[in-house]
Structures are given as C-alpha cells and as structure tokens.
Chain A
Amino acid sequence: MEPGAELEPLDALREAAAALEPPRDGIGWPQCSGASWQPGASWEQNGCDPLVCCCSFKGHGVFFTSRPGFCLVKTVDILEQFVREGGLSALMWEVCQQHAQAASPELQETLLNKVVCLPDHLSNKLRGENLPIFLPQNYFPLLGTEIIQVLQRISDSLRGGLDCSISFVSQVLGKVCVHGRQKEILSTLVPCLTDLTKSDCIWQRMCWRLVECVPDQIKIWEVGERADVLSRLLGNLVVKNKKAQFVVTQKLLLLQYSCPTAMLQNVLGYLALDNSRRFLLIKVLQELMETWASSSAVKHSPVEQQLYISKAILICLSHLKDVEIDSHRQELFTCVMEGMKCHLDSNLPRIRCLGMIVAESISSRINTDGPILKFQVRLKQNLSLLPRRCTIKVFAVGAVLCFLAWGRSNSQLHFHHSDDDFIPYDMSADKELKKTKAPLYIRDCIEVLTGPEDVEKWEATMRVLETLIQRNTAATQEVSVELAKVLLHLEEKIYIDDFMELRQKALVAVTVTDPVPVAQYLTSQFYSLNYSLRQRMDILDVLALAAQELSRPKAPGKSKLSSVQTPYIQILPGSDSSKDWRRIVDERIRSKTRRFAKVRPVELVCAPNKFSSVAGHFFFPLIQNFDRPLVTFDLLGDDHFVLGRLAHTLAILLYFAVNTVAAAAMGKALLEFVWALRFHTDSYVRQGLLSCVSSMLLSVPSDRLLEDVIEELVETQAWLADVAEKDPDGDCRRLALQNLLLMENLKTKLEAAPS
C-alpha cells in the first residue's frame, strides 16, 4: 500500500486532525506518542468530528506498513480504546448521516475497508501480540452490536423525520460476509433484529433495506433462523431483488450442496410463507425436478448432491398446496417418469433407492385418487434422507415410512430386553414340518429338479442339496457339469423364501467339488446367448464365492463350520455386494499400509491353497470376450451393470489367487482390461476397475510387477492421480487414493530392499 495514494482523499480531513494534534516528527500525521483518543470528549467536547478520529485510526493502516515500534503500540492502544468505547458505531452513524448528503464515495470505500479489515491488519502487524478485542471471534460480534446501535440511531432519526441512509451499514455487513465472518457477526445481529422487528414496522423496513443492499447475499441465508423469522427479517427480498432471487433459486439449491437440511427447510419455508413468493417455490420445484430427471445429472453429479436435491424436492412438495399441485400435475408426472427411468438405470444402489423414495413421495402427492407408485423395497438405509427437525405436518410418504420403520426396529430392540429373565435359545430352526423325505443321492436330486412338479419334494431337495454335494464328493464329480447346468437354469417353481441363496450355495458347492469342468462350463456360459442378466451375474457370484471357498485354508474337521457361517461375499438380490467385496480389499489394504501397533495374528490352519491350480480356469475365460458383443448381451453398451460386476469379480478372483503361479499373468491381463475401460462413464464400473488395480497391486509379487508391467504401472499411476483428483464419485476418489498409497508403499519397499 502506498502511503501517498492512501492519504490523498483525506486531505480535507487532515487539517482537522492537525488541529487536534500537531505533527511532531517527519513522518507526518498522525502522531502516536502521547496521543490519546478521549472517549466522548473528542467529538462532543472538542467539537471534533468522530470521523477525524477514525481517520487517524485509518491512517495507522498506512503507518503500520512503514514503521513498527513504540508508535505502533501506542496506536494499538488508541485503537483499542476507540473500538471498546463505541467508536465504530459513532463512525458508521457519521457516515450514514454524511451519506444522506452524498459524501465522497472513495472515502466511504476506504472506511468500509478499514472497518471490516481491521482484525486482519492488526493481526498481520502484531502477530502473536494481538489484543483479544481484535481477534475476529471478538471483533465481529462487537461490530454486530455496534451496527444495532447505529440502526437504533437511524430509526430514531427516521422517527424524527430526518432522512438517513442505511447503505453504508449494509455494505459493512456485506463485506463482513464476503470475508467469511457471517457467523460471528450474525450471531449478535440476528437475535437482536429478530427481537426488534417483532412489532415495529420501521425496524422491519430498515431490516429489509439493510439486507437488500448487501452485495453478496448467499451468506445471509445461512443464519439458521426459522422460516417465519426469515420472512420477517427479509421481507419480499427475493421478489424485489434479482440477485437475491438468483441466490435462492439457483445458487443455494442447484449450484452447491453443502447447506444443512434445516437451512433448506428454512429457505424453502420462507418461499412458501407468503403468497407473493409462492410462484418462486413452484419455479424452484420445477428446476429441481428438471435436474432430478436429467439422466446426465444422475450419471455425473455426486451422490451427495443428488441427495441434496432430493431433500429439497421433498421439502418443496410438503409445502405445495393441492391447488398448485393440480395445476402442475401433468408436468410433475412427466418428470417422475423420466427421472424414475434414469434413477433405476443407475448401477449405484443408493441412487436407485433415492430415486424410488422421491418418486414414491411425488406419486403419493400428485395421485389423490388413482393408483400410487409403490416399490417393494426396504427403505432402511435412507433414514439420512430425512430432515431431522421436520416441523411440517404434511411430509412426504417416503419420509413417514422411514420414520415408521425406524420406530418399529427400535421398539423391537427394546422388547428383547424387557421380557422375562429367561434367555431364549435360538429358535430359527423352528420351521414348518415337511412330510416328504429329501432325496439321499445326487442323481435323485437331479431327477427331482428336472422331473415333474412335486412341490414338497422339490423344496426338500433344494434344502438338502448343498450338504449332499459336500458329503459325496465322488458322486458329485460324476455329474458335476450336468448338475451345474440344471442349477443354473433352475427356476423358482414355487416360492421358497431363500431360494436364491439355496441355489447359489448348491452351485458354489458343485464348483468347489469339481472346480475345473464346472468353472469351464460356467465361464463359457457367461458369454453365450440366451441368458438373462440375472443368470450371468449369478455365474459371476458363484465363481467369486467358489474361489473364496477354495482359497480358504480349511482344517479337515472344520469344513462344516465354514459352510454354516454366512459367506463373506454374500451376493444376493438386494444386498449390496460390492460393499462386501470392497471390504475385503479394504481390509487387505489396511493391513498392508498402516501398522501402528503390532497385532498378534490368530493362529491359522495351514493347508494348501486349492484355488492355486485352478485359478486360471476361473479367470482367463471371463476376461477374454468382454469386448465382443452378442445379440443379447453387450457388455460395453447397455449392460454396463454386468460389466461392473465382472470387473469386481475379476478383482476378487485375482485377490484370492494371491501367492499362486498364475497371479502374475492374471495381473498383466487385468491391467490391460483396466486400461481399455478406464474412461468408462459409469462410476460402478470405474469402482470395479479401481478394485482390480488394488487386487493386482496386492496379489502380484512386486518383482514381477516391475519386470512385466512397469510402464503400464507408471501410466496407471497418472490415471489414478487424475481419478483421485477429478472423479465426481466419492468412492472412486477414495479407491484411487488407496491405490496410490499402495503404489507408494510398493516404491518405498523397493527402495528399502537392497538392490
């Protein structure tokens, strides 16, 4: 800052200052040594303008830049006194009066700058020796109370019939907000204003004017007040002021997603509160719905933002009146249909669920008489969607459902603690008694499953099949492929509640019993015609589970135990399997990367890895044909969900192939696979690819990595860095970061090893 330039507009005032304190040293005005600002006296008794005092303090800003030392300390003292004793309010009041008579804009600008930036200036100058009053957390609340005082004076003078401008105060407020100190200043300002505007219309008008003149209003909305208070404080600001309208309708809702739910409720409630503002509520809802129903937004925006938009939609809906819904029914309906399509199309369960909840809510709101959209999905994980303090009575159905489910699960928990003192035994085996006897031989099972319908026998067979296969290894091997074929094509002839699980377990058991032929059969079927996506995914799941089973060291006597436990990777419809998969990888990464404390490992049973010799049969046929589309199956096109599953499965297969001979070749192939697909638009596929990279880094020996694929690794690293930085999906970013960490570890390990 150049002193000259800074001082120039103050020439006029300098004379007045000179009268107060003549210059003593060469630097010029103002004087520090011995100078003291006399509270009250300076402007009342001495007839000196408070502005002058302020200018002196303003001048210090210049002074600070040139000469620290004794003068500095003195100046700070004066400043402290000035601030402590109401100088700021006097100053602002003075400017407000001046402003009414058109004062110099430059002067105002400088004053504004100094008032707001005082804490910054002082802390820059004083570093550790700053006075507490100048710390932002103390200064800005003080400034808030000072502003109230100025407003008080202005209101008095308005009542007295004198004209006054409030714009300087607005500017101060706006600038403070721009500097990010809205929380501190509003914490004192808002309660006072809330109180004062309760019954006084002059105060209300002042308040509206105050906010209207604030240049960047977004921060004002974050005050966290209830809708009615907002309405009182802000009036019809959004209607009058284009900028405010933009902030509310666009900036707050569509261009960011960080506001807490309560704030969304307040702001939208504010829009709904007055009839003159309701058209904005509808406009907002239209825009939200447009975004919600846009397939590009669903695909490319982060989950958090979609959650935010869904919340806003639900809140808007709860505010809409029936008449308004009537007039926009068709429009809403179209949006729901479009949005539903792209949400259900998504590979991420959270997005699908979110879409379903919103669609259910809208449908229940717009269809007063007709059928209501209803999904048979449990909405358990979406409790977070709910605005916590829901003060609105008519809330979306989805939300209510969640509440109910929540309440029910809670009460159930309590029930178990409050009954008799006897602890019940496990009664899960208490099922309906079946009269028919289950078959005793594998061949009989095939006959029952393929033969004519005998409902009870069929069910009994399904229930006993897994155990039979595990017990009769030799008999199973004779018919393994045939059995796998039967099971793969098996349809649920009658309802059994865990049919999918039983079928999967049986298939896994067959694969484990006779790995090579069955794996060959399954992998060949994965790429053949005439299978549903469900069946193809079943194949993937079975291969992954069987690989796990085979690679798990198993004590001879304990085989039964392991099959009783629920498998690590439980891939059933509805369960989010990718989470489990990732958990395995995550755990592995965790165990590799950070070792703060040594955990003594549980003594493991030693056994040969049975997966070792057959891993190739599982892996290579799967990775071969992914880029050759069939009439019914196009992995690179519409069936990207299966592609995502395939990527995850390949990652798992390689992960379980750790320490096997084939691992290196598998890793190389997998890296090529990843490289070919790395820019896939679907985040689920990208997550799968990133898991593949993790598996590769973990399973392939590091010397082989260096020998075979060092160049690819370097390229991959660049890609990972890119993903970690730019990917819209949070999970992708996290996975990429973990991969980078793994690479870093690999590097340090190599450096540490003697070459």
Chain B
Amino acid sequence: MIATMALPPPDPEFVLRGTAAPVHTLHFSCRSQEPEFPILFSGSANGLVQIWNLKTHRVDKTLDGHGGKSVYWVETIRGRDELLSQGRDQKICLWDLAEGRSMVTDSVSMDSVGFCRCSLLKMAQDRWLIAMPADDPDEVQVLELPSKTSVCTLKPEAGAKLGMPMCLKLWQPGFGACPFLMAGYEDGSVILWNLSMGKMLSRLACHQEPVMSLDFDSEKAKGVSGSSEKVLSVWSLDEQQNLKVHKTHELINSGISDVTIRQDRKILATAGWDYRIRIFGWKKMKPLAVLDFHTATVHCVSFSDHSRPSERLLAAGSKDHRISIWSLYNQT
C-alpha cells in the first residue's frame, strides 16, 4: 500500500560519457572556492585518469601514467594540486596538477597484484599515511607520505589464513590520535589493526566470501561491508576494541563492489553487480532508493565534498563506460 504511494526513483542529474572504458574509481574535489569549479576525477580500465569539469560536464584534462593498465584508486592531497593514482601496473603515482601542470613527480611501486585499493589518512600538515597491500600477499604496508618511509607492516599471525587484503580503511578516533586500520580480507573477515603497535585488535568473520568493500564511521564506531554475497554486513566496535556484527541486510541480488558512507553519516550508497545503486539510511539501514540506470556492473560510488550540503552529489561509475551523477537526500 505504502510502497505504491512512494515516489518513483529519480533520474540521474546528468551522465558523463566518454571514458571509453569501464570506470573503476571516482573522486570528487568540490570544496574549493569560486572561480574554481567543482571537478571529478575518474580512473578507468584503459589506464587513464580523467578530470571532469562538473560545470561543463566535459573532460578538462586526461592523465596517462599507468601504461594502459587499469586505474582503480585516485585520491587528492593538498587540495586539488596533487593527486595519487593507483594502477594495475603495480605503481602508485603522485601527480602534480598545480598551475596547469600534469606530470608524475613521484611514484611508489607495489609488488601486489591484487585489486586492493589503497587508503589515505591526513595526519598533519603535509604528512599523510597511506595503507597499501604489501609484497607478501597477506600483508598490509603503511607508508608515510611524502617521505615514503615505512611506518609498519601488518602481518597476520601464522595460521590465520586470511588470504589477501581486499579493502582498506585508515581512520583515527580524533585528530592527532593514534591511527587504526580496518581491513577486509579474502576469507570474509574484517580486522581492526592498531598501527602504533602493529597488532591485530579484533577479527570479525562477517562474510563467507571475500570482502569487496568496507567503510567505517569513526564517530558512531560502526562500519559496513559488502562482499560477493547477497548481504550487507553492519558491524560495530565496542569500547574494548572488539568488532561485533550489528546487523545484516539481505539484498535482492548478490555482489557489492563498493560501499560508501556520506560524509554527514546520514546515508550510504552501494555499487552492485546487479547494475543498481542502492541508498540506505545509515542510522537503521533503512532502504531508501534503488537507482536502476546502468546497464552493467557498477564499480564504484562516491559522494562529493561540497561544502554546502544541498549541493552534494553522488557519482557512480560502471562497466558500461558511464558515470552517473545523482542528487539525493541533500535537503537538510
């Protein structure tokens, strides 16, 4: 009864075409003031990073630094002047984009051949931590940027049989506090690592299949993870640093390739193998919308960092070469 009275789901605000390849990663940079325009970085399977002007909806610049190998993670540092991109060529490139430049100034090479995306955390002015898969297949390495010195290597105890790390999320309880890492592994478990001690604090087996993506809300000490199964798992971290399953949410179709909580912690979006984007209320995991636009697997979802909440956007990149931009639940 009520379902029939509900509004039909909205259409995308606009669609960005022209990547000419499946889109694997998206990252907004919309915080800067006028006359600078909001931009969106996209990384695609053809090894290109494209910079989209969200005013004109056109590509402003294309960065080619991964030798035609798929780019599956991009992230800005220092505003939009510098960009990190991770590619299947086992390299993480640091781009200098200031004053119209576009050149790789530095790079870190990885030995990992997995699909694990890196995670970046700003520790102080001009000091970042980056977590990335290490040489050993089941290890995670944390480096300090820009010095590239190794902070720690997180190695599971022998016999843990976690498999490869699949997704990483660096976080800290408050600015300046000791950083932690949430990592999802191939065997379906999520692990909380303490970086200063390099020690595993808690392990939660919340999936049967590899954890494809996770996000963590440090304020509510609650996180969400998706795998190739039909469920989303919501878990929480108690004061004794133990992870516990909070609830699971059954989905219609299996496979989640990305999950992201919006910065204001009100909603979260998932990218599904069933071509659909799903929106949930973060408080109770109340299903809010199913956006059925793409015609192939959705690889990534990302929320914009507009300083005005009403302008906030959601972008989704798909195997169908399209990036859809949505405006949802941003009237506060």
Contacts and interface: CB of A to CB of B under 8 A. Distances in A.
Interface of A: 413, 416, 419-420, 422-433
8 contacts: A420-B284, A424-B6, A425-B6, A425-B7, A426-B7, A432-B252, A432-B253, A433-B275
A422 B6 contact: no
Interface of B: 2-4, 6-10, 252-253, 266-267, 274-276, 281, 283-284, 286-290, 292, 329
A500 to B, nearest CB: 19
Given A430-B252, A430-B276, A425 B10 contact: yes
Contacts of B283: 420
Given A420-B283, A433-B253, A426 B329 contact: no
Contacts of A422: 266-267, 281, 286, 288, 329
B3 A428 contact: yes
A501 to B, nearest CB: 15
B329 A433 contact: no
A430 B276 CA distance: 9
Nearest to B288: A424
A496 B329 CA distance: 35
A419 B267 CA distance: 13
Contact of B9 (A413, A416, A425): A425
Contacts of A419: 281, 284, 286
6 closest A-B pairs by beta carbon, nearest first, are A426-B6, A425-B289, A430-B290, A433-B274, A420-B281, A425-B9
A424 B284 CA distance: 13
A423 B276 CA distance: 19
B3 A426 contact: yes
Given A419-B281, A422-B281, A430-B290, 17 more contacts: A416-B2, A419-B286, A420-B284, A422-B267, A422-B286, A423-B6, A424-B6, A424-B289, A426-B7, A426-B8, A427-B290, A429-B9, A429-B292, A430-B252, A430-B276, A433-B252, A433-B274
Contacts of B288: 422, 424-425
Nearest to B3: A428
A38 B10 CA distance: 91
Contacts of B253: 432-433
B193 to A, nearest CB: 32
A166 to B, nearest CB: 61
Contacts, number: 58
B275 A427 contact: no
A432 B284 CA distance: 24
Contacts of B252: 430-433
A621 to B, nearest CB: 37
Contacts of A431: 252
Contact of B290 (A413, A416, A429): A429
A428 B7 contact: no
A430 B266 CA distance: 22
Contacts of B266: 422
Contacts of A429: 9, 290, 292
Contacts of B7: 423, 425-426
Q: Which of A422, A423, A429, A433 has the most CB of B within 10 A?
A: A422
Contacts of B275: 433
B286 A425 contact: no
Contacts of B289: 424-425, 427
A422 B280 CA distance: 10
A426 B281 contact: no
B43 to A, nearest CB: 26
A422 B287 CA distance: 10
A392 B286 CA distance: 40
Nearest to B254: A433
Nearest to B332: A421
A429 B289 CA distance: 10
Contacts of A430: 252, 276, 290, 292
A43 B284 CA distance: 85
A420 B6 contact: no
A413 B3 CA distance: 11
B36 to A, nearest CB: 31
A429 B284 CA distance: 22
B181 to A, nearest CB: 30
A428 B4 contact: yes
B286 A424 contact: yes
A428 B7 CA distance: 11
Q: Which of A413, A423, A430, A432 has the most CB of B within 10 A?
A: A430
Contacts of A420: 281, 283-284, 286
A290 to B, nearest CB: 42
A464 B288 CA distance: 27
Q: Which of A416, A423, A425, A431 has the most CB of B within 10 A?
A: A425
B249 to A, nearest CB: 13
A420 B281 CA distance: 7
Nearest to A427: B290
Contacts of B2: 413, 416
Nearest to A429: B292
A423 B286 CA distance: 10
Nearest to A417: B2
B274 A427 contact: no
Nearest to B5: A426
Nearest to B329: A422
Nearest to B290: A430
A423 B331 CA distance: 12
A425 B279 CA distance: 10
A423 to B, nearest CB: 7
Q: Which of A419, A424, A426 has the most CB of B within 10 A?
A: A424
A755 B253 CA distance: 72
Contacts of A432: 252-253
B6 to A, nearest CB: 4
Contacts of B10: 425
A164 to B, nearest CB: 67
A430 B274 CA distance: 10
Contacts of B9: 425-427, 429
A692 to B, nearest CB: 33
A365 B284 CA distance: 43
Contacts of A423: 6-7
Contacts of B6: 423-427
Given A430-B252, A430-B276, A425 B267 contact: no
Q: Which of B8, B253, B275, B289 has the most CB of A within 10 A?
A: B289
A424 B287 contact: yes
A399 to B, nearest CB: 24
Nearest to A412: B2
A303 to B, nearest CB: 27
Nearest to A433: B274
B2 to A, nearest CB: 5
Contacts of B274: 433
A389 B9 CA distance: 45
Nearest to A419: B286
